[in-house]
Structure 1
Amino acid sequence: MSPRRLADISQIVGAAKKPGYDPSGHGTGIVHIGLGAFHRAHQAVMTDDALADAGGDWRITGVSLRSTEIADALNPQNGLYTLIERGPEGTEARVIAAIANVIAADPGGTLKALCDENIRIVTLTVTEKGYGIDRTAGGPDRNHPAVAEDLESPETPSGVLGLLVAALKHRRAARIAPFTVLSCDNLPENGKLLRLGVIGFARQLDADLADWIENNVAFPSSMVDRITPASTDETLAEAAAQTGCEDKAAVECEPFIQWVIEDAFPQGRPAWEAGGALFVTDVAPYERMKLTMLNGSHSMMAYAGFLAGHRYVRDVMNDPALARLVRRHLAAASGVMPPLVGITFADYGEALIERFRNPAIAHETYQIAMDGTQKLPQRIIAPALVALEQGRDVRPFAFATAAWMRYALGRKEDGTAYELRDPMAETIQKTVARLSDPADIYDGLTKLPGLFPSELAESRIFAAPVTDLLETMLDSGMRAAIDREAE
């Protein structure tokens, strides 16, 4: 007989830890847009800790803008789900009750939730492509389908910028205090970027509204970190064993969690520090450290590891040669970092190595490899340019770049094709079609719009090792390139 569906805390009969509060005694105060696995393993968990520690009406209304899958999983469970932490020492589980309900593929329902006077914070994990912001221009990207549609029909928005602006317009007219907007995506200065996008979108429609948003709405920046693999049948089976219930929304993650937040919440906030959040006046140094060291090495090992036949990050770390290149990349990344009070970069790098080695976490290299054109600028290209300007060794960054360029060809060494899963996939494919010479591939990919600054792309100090490494990857294979580079 199958276990009954998780829907109430009283049903939990396994070893999973129960919430430290009665969820029915707390109202909602947060709308979260982008209700994926990462939010459920990160912000929702710290909100759960905050509710248990200090209470308050801070439960979450989750929003999935496109898919109904997570709503179908969570709503029948009254928002309850199991968090499974897998570490080298074993597995622990707890049931999270911070999510009250989920709105899915319902722009009207989402806008209504955003206009609710009880909502004081809107958090987001939609990835860079979900915002529709032109990072170079610092405003809305009119070529983004949702942005274009919402500018044409601002009263019935369906995209992130359109929904936020429409909700703020309503709250202003109704004399309801504006919510604080907190981006939790891996983007440099994510709060400032989102602020420019929202104000720029509003200015296209109503200059007075744009000025009001500029003067009254807080957009704190944040840095988030927790390795969260995609859930599998094994995840769901572990949740059933830990709770005695069927849980279709279970997620798994590593034990480590980090959240650094700019403390700017005019309408109040949960006691997220109860879950370990660090509140600071400037997030940027922490953000840069994570993007340059953790995310940069992650991208390098994703492209090289995937093409070397390694499915998971843990497999990469069991490859002695590739593990040496990961250490080399971390050392190079730390070298371009300005000093950060309280942080020893060598210790941070060693902690990352241990996290990457975690045998219990099945984090796929192919998953990390997606959206490369949106990740590389801050993870690889920016630190490479700093290294170039400072006269440091650029070869670790050149290796990562060559690995991405090889990956961008969209075929394994046996000729098997794979999807790039990148917003510029079609452009990349047209660029590299019928190209075989490393210099031509380098020239084509470095000219993609908004990706490589000319001072880096045109530098022989950078271009020469990239094309040299790419030639080895093409002629002798990724395995040979890794082994030669690690000698």
Structure 2
Amino acid sequence: MLVVEQLPPDVRLPDYDRCRLRTRMVHIGFGAFHRAHQALCSDKLASDHGSDWGYCEVNLNSGELIAVLRAQSLLYTVTEMADDSLSTRVIGVVNAALHGQSDGIEAVIEAMSQPDVAIVSMTVTEKGYCHHPASGELNLQHPSIQHDLAHPDAPQSVPGVILAAIKRRQQRGLAPFSVMSCDNMPGNGHVTRQVIVQLARQQDSALAEYITRHLSFPSTMVDRIVPAMTPETLATLSDKLGCRDEAGVVCEPFFQWVIEDNFVSGRPAWENAGAELVDDVLPFEEMKLRMLNGSHSFLAYLGYLGGYQHISDCMADDHYLIAARQLMLAEQAPTLRTHDVDLTAYADSLIARYQNRAIRHRTYQIATDGSQKLPQRWLDSIRWHLKNGSRFDLLALGVAGWMRYVGGVDEQGATIVINDPLKDELARCVAATAEGAERVTALLSIRAIFGDDLAAQPQLVARVTDFLQQLQTLGARETVKQLMAHY
């Protein structure tokens, strides 16, 4: 357990009066990324500028981290790791912590309904929105949404819980809050607004109208590599701290947070702690999702199939390194709407970050939930190239790599455990088709991922089929090598 008195002198401790913090933000999803990103930024603001904006942290499902946090007086550590250095600080900006199952959903809704709360934020990954990734629409057939429609006062889903709190605040005459998504989705604020308003319309049209008129849903772009904790990194962290912090996280030094400045009841001055407040986040989101997250997913599937466990391992293979950079600059950059951004310098900075061997970012971790990630990371870019008649070989290879991966067997014949909300549908699709063109057509026909259009694009079908066959016969490393030799 984290014991502050035992920490080495170079660990930075909270140097502000934690009793002054007010619980003005409720955050759903106390995962590694939030701990190393938004909470860290708010902690710096409290330390350096006297901010009194504190967090109530909420996990709706897993309660282990919440229990650890409570046992540690709501403290945990963030350690920035470069190849040759470590820098650690204790985060003290958390005021309260709740677990939806053990504390009850009622406690979570009540926490959001306190008068001081001005922002409800979330990092719940794409699948937490219970939507169709291809369209952004609420998935009314999602089991949790079905439950919430039948039991609106005892919801299970993230949209349902937030909606219940909005309704309660309205009934009490309290000011509305802003709902801020910090997940990797284009227009994440728009998606959040859409699923909550659509769910509200199923319950009460007047409530939906109230939300539309009075709440705001600022979009954000977040960027920091925060790998999942492993026994190895936990041991490294324990050696550094002299004690074991089960809620501790490690991350790279790089930090970026771009926020649409659209808050109905105030916000922290995050710009004083390194965030950027802008009018339009979308160009930043697209740049990051397509160049960083898109290349990450490419390396995840092709790297995992090629036997590389970590992104930094992929970077040690010149063919993968060149492929990732070419994907960013030749196939993703032309699709962007950015202005006054040096995309070559941005791509080179991403490659340098990927080469940080202190950050053990597993390809398997990045490969999870692919059905939720592909639309915004690759598929919109593919649509752009199809419309403009330009080359998209690396994007097509990425799709083929995903298809090979969800086949469930790696190049050594070992089982791949597929972690994806659509894993059952993917498994049925794989079981019912032969490898090759038949499987490509079947997988492209999953509308929740590929929409209604891509399965009918013969150029895409042909390229993905060709690459899938190469992956099956040559393997991932040789396929990447041969493509880069003729790119």
Looking at structure 1, the residues matched to 138 and 295 of structure 2 have their Cα atoms a distance apart, in angstroms, of 30
What stretches of structure 1 move > 4 A for 4+ residues in a row?
135-139
Q: 1:320 aligns with which of 318, 321, 337?
A: 318
Structure 1 equivalent of residue 440 of structure 2:
442
Q: 1:253, 1:361 within 8 Å by CA — same for their partners in 2?
A: yes
Gaps spanning 5+ residues in structure 2: where? none
Looking at structure 2, the residues matched to 172 and 354 of structure 1 have their Cα atoms a distance apart, in angstroms, of 49
Q: 2:271 aligns with which of 267, 270, 273?
A: 273
Structure 2 equivalent of residue 29 of structure 1:
24
SS, match of residue 231 in structure 1: coil
Structure 1 equivalent of residue 307 of structure 2:
309
Q: 2:2 aligns with which of 1, 6, 17?
A: 6
Looking at structure 2, the residues matched to 131 and 461 of structure 1 have their Cα atoms a distance apart, in angstroms, of 32
Q: 1:55 aligns with which of 50, 53, 63?
A: 50
Q: 2:331, 2:392 within 8 Å by CA — same for their partners in 1?
A: no
SS, match of residue 224 in structure 1: strand
Q: 2:133, 2:372 within 8 Å by CA — same for their partners in 1?
A: no
Looking at structure 1, the residues matched to 212 and 454 of structure 2 have their Cα atoms a distance apart, in angstroms, of 35
* Offset at residue 471 of structure 1 (A): 0.7
The AA in structure 2 aligned to 1:440 is: E
Looking at structure 2, the residues matched to 269 and 302 of structure 1 have their Cα atoms a distance apart, in angstroms, of 36
Q: 2:74 aligns with which of 55, 79, 82?
A: 79
> Are 1:97 and 2:97 counterparts?
no
Check 1:11–1:354 CA distance in 2 against 1; reply closer, same or farther (3 A cut).
same
* Offset at residue 318 of structure 1 (A): 0.3
> Are 1:187 and 2:185 counterparts?
yes
Q: 1:404 aligns with which of 402, 405, 408?
A: 402
Check 1:183–1:330 CA distance in 2 against 1; reply closer, same or farther (3 A cut).
same
What are the Cα deviations for residues 238-265 of structure 1, in whole angstroms up to 9, with x where unaligned? 4444444432211000001111100011
Looking at structure 2, the residues matched to 408 and 389 of structure 1 have their Cα atoms a distance apart, in angstroms, of 28
Looking at structure 1, the residues matched to 76 and 204 of structure 2 have their Cα atoms a distance apart, in angstroms, of 42
Structure 2 equivalent of residue 428 of structure 1:
426
SS, match of residue 407 in structure 1: helix
Alignment of 1:95-244 (within 5 A): 95-104=90-99, 105=101, 106-135=104-133, 138-244=136-242
The AA in structure 1 aligned to 2:19 is: S
Looking at structure 2, the residues matched to 130 and 77 of structure 1 have their Cα atoms a distance apart, in angstroms, of 28
Looking at structure 1, the residues matched to 237 and 258 of structure 2 have their Cα atoms a distance apart, in angstroms, of 29
Please, which moves more after superposition, 450-459 or 179-188?
450-459
What are the Cα deviations for residues 372-412 of structure 1, in whole angstroms up to 9, with x where unaligned? 11101111111011112112111111111111111110101
* Offset at residue 145 of structure 1 (A): 1.6
Structure 2 equivalent of residue 256 of structure 1:
254
The AA in structure 2 aligned to 1:310 is: Y
Check 1:66–1:338 CA distance in 2 against 1; reply closer, same or farther (3 A cut).
closer
Q: 1:220, 1:264 within 8 Å by CA — same for their partners in 2?
A: yes
Check 1:266–1:34 CA distance in 2 against 1; reply closer, same or farther (3 A cut).
same
What are the Cα deviations for residues 322-379 of structure 1, in whole angstroms up to 9, with x where unaligned? 1121121112244423452331111110000001111110000000001111101111
* Offset at residue 313 of structure 1 (A): 0.2
The AA in structure 2 aligned to 1:132 is: C
Check 1:441–1:137 CA distance in 2 against 1; reply closer, same or farther (3 A cut).
closer
Structure 1 equivalent of residue 371 of structure 2:
373
Looking at structure 2, the residues matched to 23 and 201 of structure 1 have their Cα atoms a distance apart, in angstroms, of 37
* Offset at residue 150 of structure 1 (A): 1.2
Q: 2:133, 2:449 within 8 Å by CA — same for their partners in 1?
A: no
Count how many residue pairs are aligned between Structure 1 and Structure 2: 482
* Offset at residue 294 of structure 1 (A): 0.5
Structure 1 equivalent of residue 463 of structure 2:
465
Looking at structure 2, the residues matched to 427 and 131 of structure 1 have their Cα atoms a distance apart, in angstroms, of 19
* Offset at residue 135 of structure 1 (A): 4.6
What are the Cα deviations for residues 276-304 of structure 1, in whole angstroms up to 9, with x where unaligned? 11011010010000111101101111000
The AA in structure 1 aligned to 2:155 is: P
What are the Cα deviations for residues 162-200 of structure 1, in whole angstroms up to 9, with x where unaligned? 111111111111111011100000011010111111111
SS, match of residue 451 in structure 1: helix
The AA in structure 1 aligned to 2:312 is: R
Q: 1:64 aligns with which of 47, 59, 63?
A: 59
Looking at structure 2, the residues matched to 56 and 362 of structure 1 have their Cα atoms a distance apart, in angstroms, of 33
Structure 1 equivalent of residue 12 of structure 2:
17
Looking at structure 1, the residues matched to 85 and 286 of structure 2 have their Cα atoms a distance apart, in angstroms, of 31
Please, which moves more after superposition, 347-356 or 406-415?
406-415
Q: 1:418 aligns with which of 416, 419, 430?
A: 416
The AA in structure 2 aligned to 1:425 is: K
TM-score, scaled relative to structure 1? 0.95
What are the Cα deviations for residues 406-460 of structure 1, in whole angstroms up to 9, with x where unaligned? 1110101222112110111111111111533411111111001222245443333
* Offset at residue 131 of structure 1 (A): 1.7
Gaps spanning 5+ residues in structure 1: where? none
Q: 1:41, 1:228 within 8 Å by CA — same for their partners in 2?
A: yes
* Offset at residue 138 of structure 1 (A): 4.8
Looking at structure 1, the residues matched to 217 and 270 of structure 2 have their Cα atoms a distance apart, in angstroms, of 17
In angstroms, what is the RMSD of aligned CA positions?
1.7
SS, match of residue 450 in structure 1: helix
